[in-house]
Structure 1
Amino acid sequence: MIASFKKFAVSAAVTTALGLTFAVLPTAASAQTKIKLTLNWKYEGPQAWFFLAQDKGYFKAEGLDVEIDQGEGSAAGVPKVAAGTYTAAFGDMNALIDFAAKRPADAPVGVYTLYNSAPFTVVVKANSPIKTPKDFEGKTLGGPANDGALKLFPTLAGSAGFDLSKVKISNMAPNLREQMLIRDQVDGVFGYINTVYFAAKASGMDPEKDLRFIRYADYGLDLYSNTIMFSRKFTKENPEAVKGFLRALNKAIKEVVANPDEGLAAVLKREPLLKPELEKEKLLATIKRDMSHPEVAKIGLGAVDEARLKKSIDLVVKANQLTTTPSTGDVFDSSFLPARADRPSKL
């Protein structure tokens, strides 16, 4: 009887201890840190890594509950994160620089740069008399209000040496950009090279024959572009969550590069009406043109060269006549990056 009682007491004690343990440990659902991310644009092939990381549970494995929304342009995510509408954005570094100069306390902070080669361009018809940026004077150029290339147009003016006041700017819905150019309603349109190229191709044009691309990078603007940026408040309060997000995303990027079809399948789950062949071509072109700057071999994908970023900041500040010059640390924090050995050196 005494032995039986002791056995019962020990069993009860173990049960109680286990119960206390389970009470202290959070459930899987409560352990998930919520991150709300806005993308640069509507769902498309070059966003494959975000969806693959979500579908394969990489975010969840890091204790994250990630919600991914479509975007409205690469510059649009910056104020949305600053306002607290989103935790993070995939948006343009140069829009971030501009915002950080004006409202440093509210500005998001970049943590992982994907587009390390400047994709900005003004696109004209192949037979257009516009050959160089100087020829923009007296012409009408158009683009969506939140387009990254449009936002950077004053910077191009400063670098290429044309009179910005002599160029008329017309805003339009993104889906009208290529049509308005072809119908001569504008003389040129702003955009990212791949975005306009493949939108034109999808509409039946041959961009190689029908269009010419005046690239910002050819006129001294060796700028960074789309970057993962987080709320500054969130990075301070949840540094491990930011690191976990980047580990998950970095893993998915490597897998999409190795197997683009797997990444594309994740995109098509969200937007089944997309044309698979076109989206795959767009994804591969983005990897080749936008993410393969020579510096990747030295510093790895995701990182930035501080001297190059400083030059970009100075260009944006001068062109937009900003009164404050952010430091590189104000716009990019490398402390959240995955280990150098884990990040791609070649794409």
Structure 2
Amino acid sequence: MNLKNLAAAALFAAGSALASLGVPHAAFAETTKLKVGYLPVGVYSYFWRAQDAGYFADENLEVELVPMAGGGQIIPALQSGALQFGISDALGVLNARKGGLPVTYVSFNFSQSSDNPVHAVLTTNPDIKSPKDLEGKAVATNLSYNTDWTMMREWLRKNDVDIDKVTFREIPFPDMLPALRNDTVAAVGAVEPFVTFGKEQGANVLGHYFTDVKSPVVLSGIVAMLPYVEENPDIVKGFVKAVNRAIEDFKADPAVARETIGAHTKIPATAIEAMNLGDWETEVPPSEMQFWVDAAEKEGILNETDDLNSLVWSPKE
């Protein structure tokens, strides 16, 4: 027996001995390195929690979190293999599928409701007292043809606004409040913590453009390329298990989420305490994607789509 075989036999024997003492063989499993694209904001703070609490390590995963601009940057990186997982909103997945990219959710997990909204329409113009006053003016969302843009348009329609009389502009979330102060736009579709910052600075809330349209509404989560998922089901299961443990921590005690956000951002403690967090879920049925399919078809973004079950991956037992 050569040295390599002797080493393998010794490792197996050691593993068997420790297993008899209650130490699982998983402790000897090779560590898998993963790169995950995300936005470094509170919505995706479950990644930080899974790192800090050792949940990724428990699944023999070494996860590098890569800050990125959004799904438009993340999905191409998944396609190239530069990332294994990333975040995306629902329209990002549908747009990618329309473009022939086999993207699927492995965890469709973030939602908000009327009693815990994280998006709001803000204005600092005292003459704008209702959505109807936005006709003839400019409104900002962070991107076009995404969930924010789609919901803003539907929110305006629900408030009897002629959207053909509204100019839509793309402004990143961190630049929205300065754009209001400079009168670049009349209103913005902001997300926490910028909603809280805006209110602290005197901005008025005209409405909550997600939850005024649908409550609750699931809007984003973790995606991967379907071929990668099918080739690496155990890795995907372990990764999702670690994230789900973090989500369960947040659900059991929202203070854990606030502490995690505070540890990884420069958001002032007073704002972290005041801001809405939204809701995280571990088991969202694929049927929740139907709302976004219908919304995309209404906007002319989508003509047809794949089966809903293919948009949200479910592990086979």
TM-score (norm 2): 0.77
State the one-letter code of the partner of 2:35. Answer: K
Superposed displacement of residue 62, structure 1: 0.7
Which digits, 9 at most, give the CA deviation of each residue in 1:7-60, with x for residues without a partner?
xxxxxx8x9865232578999898222221122x33x44443311211222111
Give the distance between the partners of 1:136 and 1:331, measured in 2 at CA: 35
| Alignment match, 2:7 | 19
Q: Which residue of 1 aligns with 2:267?
A: 274
* Count of matched residue positions in the alignment of Structure 1 and Structure 2: 301
- Find the aligned partners of 1:248 and 1:264 in 2 and give their Cα distance: 19
Identity rate of aligned residues, in percent?
19
8 Å CA contact 2:247, 2:282 repeated in 1: no
Q: Provide the secondary structure at the position in 1 that maps to 2:111.
A: coil
Is residue 233–residue 315 contact of structure 2 (8 Å, CA) maintained in 1?
no
- 1:108 paired residue number: 103
Who is 2:220 aligned against? Answer: 226
Q: Does 1:254 align with 2:242?
A: no
Aligned to 2:315: 335
Larger Rg: 1
More strand by share: 2
Q: How far apart are 1:245 and its partner, in Å?
A: 1.0
Aligned-partner Cα distance in 1 for 2:4–2:183: 78
1:81-230 maps to which residues of 2 (within 5 A)?
Answer: 81-100=78-97, 102-104=98-100, 106-117=101-112, 119-125=118-124, 127-129=126-128, 131-132=130-131, 135-145=133-143, 148-150=147-149, 152-153=151-152, 162-192=161-191, 194-201=192-199, 204-206=200-202, 210-219=204-213, 223-230=217-224
Encode CA deviations 1:132-161: one digit per residue, 9 max, x unaligned.
3x5543211123337741255455567766
- TM superposition shift of 1:222: 6.0
Structure 2 residues without counterparts, runs of 5 or longer: 16-24
The alpha-carbon distance between structure 1 residues 27 and 121, as it changes in their structure 2 partners (threshold 3 A), is closer
Q: Give the residue type in structure 2 aligned to 1:51.
A: W
Counterpart-to-counterpart distance in 1, 2:211 and 2:262: 32
Q: Is the 8 A contact 1:78 1:107 kept in 2?
A: no
For residues 288-299 of structure 1, the aligned pairs below 5 Å read 290-291=278-279
How big is the shift at 1:75?
A: 5.8
The one-letter code sitting in structure 2 at the alignment partner of 1:167 is: V
Partner-residue secondary structure (3-state), 1:67 = strand
Within the candidate set 303, 315, 320, 2:283 is matched to: 303
SS of the counterpart of 2:241?
helix
Give the Cα–Cα distance (whole angstroms) in 2 for the partners of residues 84 and 151 of structure 1. Answer: 29
Distance change (3 Å), C-alpha of 1:248 and 1:330: same
**Which of the numbers 229, 236, 246 marks the counterpart of 1:242?**
236
After TM superposition, give the deviation of residue 246 of structure 1 in Å. 1.3
Q: Distance in 2 between matches of 1:153 and 1:270?
A: 30
Tell me the TM-score normalized by structure 1: 0.71
**CA distance in structure 2 between the aligned counterparts of 1:186 and 1:253, rounded to whole angstroms:** 36
AA aligned opposite 2:66:
D
Q: Pick closer, same or farther for the CA change 1:17–1:331 going to 2, 3 Å.
A: closer
For 1:237, the aligned partner's letter is E
Structure with a larger share of its residues in helix: 1
